[in-house]
């Protein structure tokens, strides 16, 4: 497809700092990749002096793939296309000693850091740990030290949290470890405070391209500024109307700062949309017009007017889910092979809404894929139990050993594991092998030694039983022996332990069923699970299934037909956001949801919804009232058209099936 004049201008502009205001579906990824190709082939930039920074690995991978089709390997040698975190890690690896770190420092994930914070708090309450962890993350992203956090604390809780932050940083230093936030924070502080290193990296990276600039936090924006210097040779791409991540530290103010920090900033608007019909864009433009504008723009399209947007009033959640599932099945049946399940997306405000839709889709045997929510195999309690199964299947699996040995707690602490790790490294063996070595055991205190020996003996015993025992019996015995239900009751607050234990029971039932149906022992099933978890990482685009996603996770994606569900006051916009004065961000979230749709868009809401066992009667979302009413087709409301009943729907579907069967018979005769 030919580039439009604005896209061409953005690609060719090299007169200084540039901000490309890229509306939804305006081809921003193409502009970035084409600009990289232009810099290398026409503007004389060497590939290793260019860095394109994205927010997700998926976006970075997509860019790399596109560039690979435009340029050969030699032309892209040394080119950096990565996330902010990856770039930070690259700088940190090279400059580790200047940050008080050894070259092979460890990187902790969110679970690891939560564990340390929980121990410092002397708490096991998941919500309390998460809130503390989140606050520390926000401070880090705002470049505040523990001391600065303490000085600016608003209340007693923040003061206490600032103390935990100080102790947490000390622990990380002792461990020679960093967390995800440090991957950007430490390089930023280093470049800020050390002019020689700053100059070195400015010379190395001569041109910067930053994607989704509206999503940068204070720290990321500071890193971008330090790398580009006064000259400001960069292209930042973003859209203030799609800024939806304030809750994780994104600061839309950065777009305003661009203008004051770089007075010579050039702004180019991409307003032509290559995704949606004119009507979908008209609805999106009118909703977002209710927000204050940093950079005014109006999206437009050559794709024709398109269908009216359906607004469907449903009786309750089950009715809502059934209507969506029936509608998908109806359209699939009418469209036949031309319509894929992957053409449909169900988008919702919160993950808790997904379950009802899952049930409705399963009932009609419609394949679906969850994204933006946690996979079953990613849940902490499931990973705990799978660690035991993995260790039995492969005693060389060190991460599985660490998890199984310490969950539930059994007197194997950091000191024991540290000594074990040192022995394993020295003797080039696994932790499980080290734990069975008399020399390694001799270095431990008797109490710790006994705990470790009990654990390894138990695992050897279960490994022995694994090949001869029914998978269901094996897992039942293991759960009883390690006392996992009691562990959950002790470590989780309120209903969380019940929910987690239910998930573990679900896993046990699945293992039992799998073992009996496929005549497999627990080790053989472990291989199946490994394959399943690998498949979960398969490119989502390759799977023909209805996509179910939170609105936050849907950003950057597009679908021919979108169902935007739960459009009710209190749910969307969310009560918390209304109370905290974040209505503008909720409206931007609605804008993002609308602009995911290419051809068809339906919004649903419930007349009544159950919350904590009681019926509530919500008002339809105020965002529906903000839409041009002449472009809406209202269904199920007193003043609208009736929704086809369930019985009528079934009759309609069976009629369609009969028609299609007759057609097929005629063709074959």
pLDDT computed for residue 496 by the predictor: 85
> Which tokens in the block code for residue 298?
């109006």
Classify 6 as helix, strand or coil. Answer: helix
Quote the distance between the C-alpha of residue 572 and its chain's center: 20
Check pLDDT > 50 for residue 361.
Answer: yes
Q: With bands split at pLDDT 50, 70 and 90, how would you rate the model's confidence at 538? A: very low
* Residue whose entry in the numeric block shows the structure tokens 């994606």: 557
Q: With bands split at pLDDT 50, 70 and 90, how would you rate the model's confidence at 650? A: low
Separation CA 511–CA 522 (nearest Å):
8
Q: What is the pLDDT of residues 86-96, one digit of tens each?
A: 899 889 889 98
Asked if 289 contacts 610 with a C-beta cutoff of 8 angstroms, the reply is no
Asked if 96 contacts 105 with a C-beta cutoff of 8 angstroms, the reply is yes
DSSP string for residues in 41-93: HTS---GGGEEEEESSHHHHHHHHHHHHHHS-HHHHTT-EEEEHHHHHHHHHH
Separation CA 418–CA 431 (nearest Å):
10
Check pLDDT > 50 for residue 536.
Answer: no
Q: Find the mean pLDDT for residues 284-311.
A: 93
**365 CB-side CA count, 13 A:** 0
Q: Find the mean pLDDT for residues 56-60.
A: 83
Q: Which of 46-50, 188-192, 254-258, 307-311 has the lowest mean pLDDT?
A: 254-258
pLDDT computed for residue 150 by the predictor: 93
Check pLDDT > 60 for residue 169.
Answer: yes
Specify the DSSP class assigned to residue 607.
S
Check pLDDT > 80 for residue 105.
Answer: no
Check pLDDT > 90 for residue 455.
Answer: yes
Q: Which residues are catalytic?
A: 28-29, 211-212, 242, 596
Alpha helices by DSSP H, listed for 519-574, are: 522-536
Strands 614-616 and 368-371: unpaired
Asked if 222 contacts 191 with a C-beta cutoff of 8 angstroms, the reply is no
Check pLDDT > 70 for residue 528.
Answer: no
Q: Find the mean pLDDT for residues 521-543.
A: 61
Rounded to 5, what percent of the chain is helix, strand, coil?
60, 15, 30
Portion of the chain with pLDDT greater than 90, in percent: 63
Q: Find the mean pLDDT for residues 322-340.
A: 93
Give me the helix-helix angle, 380-393 and 471-482, nearest 10°.
120
């Amino acid at each position: 497809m030919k580039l439009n004049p604005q896209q061409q201008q953005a690609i060719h502009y090299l007169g200084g700092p540039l901000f490309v205001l890229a509306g939804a579906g305006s081809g921003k990824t193409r502009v970035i990749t084409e600009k990289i190709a232009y810099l290398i082939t026409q503007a004389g930039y060497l590939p290793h002096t260019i860095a394109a920074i994205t927010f997700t690995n998926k976006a970075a991978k997509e860019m790399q793939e596109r560039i690979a089709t435009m340029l050969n390997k030699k032309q892209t040698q040394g080119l950096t296309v990565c996330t902010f975190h990856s770039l930070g890690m690259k700088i940190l690896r090279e400059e580790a000693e200047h940050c008080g770190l050894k070259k092979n420092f460890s990187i902790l994930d969110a679970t690891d850091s939560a564990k340390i914070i929980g121990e410092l708090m002397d708490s096991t309450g998941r919500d309390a740990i998460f809130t503390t962890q989140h606050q520390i993350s926000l401070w880090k992203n705002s470049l505040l030290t523990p001391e600065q956090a303490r000085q600016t604390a608003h209340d007693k809780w923040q003061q206490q949290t600032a103390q935990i932050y100080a102790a947490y940083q000390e622990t990380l230093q002792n461990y020679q470890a960093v967390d995800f936030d440090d991957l950007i924070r430490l390089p930023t502080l280093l470049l800020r405070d050390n002019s020689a290193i700053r100059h070195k990296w400015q010379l190395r990276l001569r041109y910067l391209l930053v994607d989704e600039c509206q999503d940068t936090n204070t720290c990321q924006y500071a890193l971008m500024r330090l790398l580009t210097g006064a000259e400001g040779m960069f292209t930042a791409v973003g859209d203030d109307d799609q800024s939806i991540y304030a809750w994780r530290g994104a600061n839309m103010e950065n777009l305003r700062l661009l203008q004051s920090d770089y007075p010579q900033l050039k702004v180019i608007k991409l307003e032509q949309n290559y995704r949606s019909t004119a009507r979908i864009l008209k609805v999106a433009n009118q909703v977002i017009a209710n927000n204050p504008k940093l950079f005014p723009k109006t999206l437009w399209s050559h794709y024709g007017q398109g269908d009216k947007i359906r607004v469907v009033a449903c009786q309750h959640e089950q009715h809502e889910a059934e209507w969506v599932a029936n509608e998908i099945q109806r359209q699939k049946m009418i469209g036949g092979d031309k319509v894929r399940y992957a053409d449909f997306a169900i988008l919702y405000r919160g993950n808790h809404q997904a379950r009802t839709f899952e049930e409705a889709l399963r009932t009609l045997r419609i394949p679906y894929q969850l994204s933006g929510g946690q996979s079953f195999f990613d849940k902490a309690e499931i990973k705990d139990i799978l660690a035991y199964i993995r260790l039995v299947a492969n005693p060389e699996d060190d991460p599985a050993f660490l998890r199984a040995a310490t969950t539930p707690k059994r007197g194997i602490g950091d000191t024991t594991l540290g000594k074990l790790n040192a022995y394993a490294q020295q003797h080039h063996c696994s932790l499980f092998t080290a734990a069975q070595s008399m020399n390694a055991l001799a270095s431990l205190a008797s109490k710790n030694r006994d705990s470790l020996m009990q654990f390894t003996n138990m695992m050897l015993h279960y490994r022995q039983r694994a090949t001869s025992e029914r998978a269901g019996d094996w897992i039942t015995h293991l759960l009883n022996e390690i006392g996992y239900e009691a562990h959950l009751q002790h470590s989780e607050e309120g209903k969380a332990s019940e929910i987690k234990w239910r998930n573990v029971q679900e896993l046990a039932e699945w293992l039992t069923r799998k073992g009996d149906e496929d005549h497999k022992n627990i080790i053989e099933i472990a291989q199946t699970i490994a394959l399943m978890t690998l498949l979960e990482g398969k490119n989502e685009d390759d799977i023909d299934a209805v996509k179910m996603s939170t609105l936050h996770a849907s950003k950057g994606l597009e679908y021919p037909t979108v169902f935007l569900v739960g459009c009710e006051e209190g749910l969307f916009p969310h009560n918390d956001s209304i109370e905290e004065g974040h209505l503008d961000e909720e409206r931007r979230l609605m804008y993002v949801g609308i602009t995911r749709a290419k051809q068809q868009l339906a919004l649903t809401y419930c007349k009544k919804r159950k919350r904590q066992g009681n019926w509530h009667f919500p008002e339809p979302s105020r965002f529906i009232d903000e839409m041009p009413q002449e472009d809406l087709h209202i269904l199920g409301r007193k003043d609208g058209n009736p929704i086809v009943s369930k019985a009528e729907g079934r009759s309609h579907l069976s009629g369609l099936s009969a028609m299609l069967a007759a057609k097929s018979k005629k063709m074959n005769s």
